[in-house]
Amino acid sequence: MASHLRAHALIGQRALLLTTAAIPLTGWAVHATALHRRLAAARRDPLTGLHARPGYVQHATRHLNRHREMAMLVFLDMAGFKAVNDRLGHDTGNELLIAIAGRLEQWVGDDGVAARLHGDEFAAALTCAAADRAQRLEQLHEALHQSVHIDGQAVDVAVSIGASSPSDLHSTNLSYLLRGAEGAMYEHKRERTGLYRIAFPDHANEPTVNGRRLGRTGTTAYPLAPEDVR
């Protein structure tokens, strides 16, 4: 009888120890889940719901590593967005950004990633064979340039588009490819011809002025001294 009672006591002690050990583990699990949610939220743009830059870098890098030559990056900039804000107000500007974000996300599809990098600059990474790029970029141009109806009025949209791919730039480095897409986009913005620009190595290696791309406000309004260009 005594041995039977001792056995029950040992079982009870073990159960207590296991329960006590489980309490902090459960607490850490809850904490880890909350932390993961906060980190995920930080990687999202609060206005549009698209990935912000950190989330974009993570997902686009993974996409490039997985699809390599079949991947394509896109860099977008809205033309005349400041004028919309000044003329129609920031609420209308925000609605315009939300509309563009939705169209970009729909165009990318389930296998890619869309992001708002900063202000009116957007980016995307997706899978697209070289033979299909022209058609896909034409579809993007058409989708983005449809007027957005806000509070009963049609707001016209103009977007400059640059695209890059590992097959054209001979690299799967995200920073290099994004720099190429950005350079192609600014060429499109400057020249205002065609529907988009495809990046080549010259776009990725384009010089900057004080860290700013040629073609951005403040970089072409005055002659540049040689030491100012790098």
Return the residue matching tokens 């579809």. 139
- Verify that 171 and 196 share a domain, yes or no: yes
Does a structural domain hold residue 25? Answer: yes
Bridge partners, 213 (sequence order): 208
- Verify that 135 and 22 share a domain, yes or no: no
The whole-number average pLDDT for the span 30-35 is: 45
Q: Long-range contacts made by residues 144-152, C-beta under 8 angstroms, separation at least 24? A: 144/76, 144/100, 144/103, 144/104, 146/103, 148/95, 148/96, 148/99, 148/100, 150/88, 150/92, 150/95, 150/96, 150/99, 151/92
The pTM score is: 0.74
- Verify that 125 and 192 share a domain, yes or no: yes
Does a structural domain hold residue 223? Answer: no
Determine contact, residues 186/215, Cβ cutoff 8 Å: yes
Its domain, for residue 161, covers 53-211
- Verify that 4 and 97 share a domain, yes or no: no
- Verify that 94 and 143 share a domain, yes or no: yes
6-20, 80-94, 204-218, range with greatest mean pLDDT: 80-94
Does a structural domain hold residue 198? Answer: yes
- Verify that 15 and 85 share a domain, yes or no: no
- Verify that 2 and 91 share a domain, yes or no: no
- Verify that 207 and 115 share a domain, yes or no: yes
> What's the pLDDT band for 207 if we cut at 50, 70, 90?
confident
**pLDDT above 60 for 224:** no
pLDDT tens track for 79-133: 889 888 888 899 999 999 999 999 999 999 998 999 999 999 999 999 999 999 9
- Verify that 65 and 37 share a domain, yes or no: no
For residues 84 and 92, what is the distance between their CA atoms, to the nearest angstrom? 8
- Verify that 57 and 9 share a domain, yes or no: no
Does a structural domain hold residue 155? Answer: yes
Determine contact, residues 178/123, Cβ cutoff 8 Å: yes
If one counts the domains in the chain, the total is 2
Percent of the chain with pLDDT over 90: 63
- Verify that 64 and 26 share a domain, yes or no: no
Q: Measuring CA to CA, which residue among 167, 169, 171 is closest to residue 184?
A: 169
Average of per-residue pLDDT values in the chain: 81
Does a structural domain hold residue 226? Answer: no
- Per-residue DSSP letter, 120: T
- Verify that 72 and 28 share a domain, yes or no: no
For residues 51 and 36, what is the distance between their CA atoms, to the nearest angstrom? 15
For residues 29 and 23, what is the distance between their CA atoms, to the nearest angstrom? 10
Q: How confident is the model at residue 1, as a pLDDT? A: 52
3-state percent breakdown (helix, strand, coil) of the chain, nearest 5:
55, 20, 25
198, with CB counted inside 10 A (0-12, 13-18, 19+), is buried
Does a structural domain hold residue 228? Answer: no
Does a structural domain hold residue 196? Answer: yes
Q: How confident is the model at residue 32, as a pLDDT? A: 44
DSSP string, 79-94: TTHHHHHHHH-HHHHH
- CATH number of the structural domain spanning residue 71: 3.30.70.270
| Paired tokens of 41 | 């939220």
Q: How confident is the model at residue 85, as a pLDDT? A: 87
| Paired tokens of 17 | 């120890």
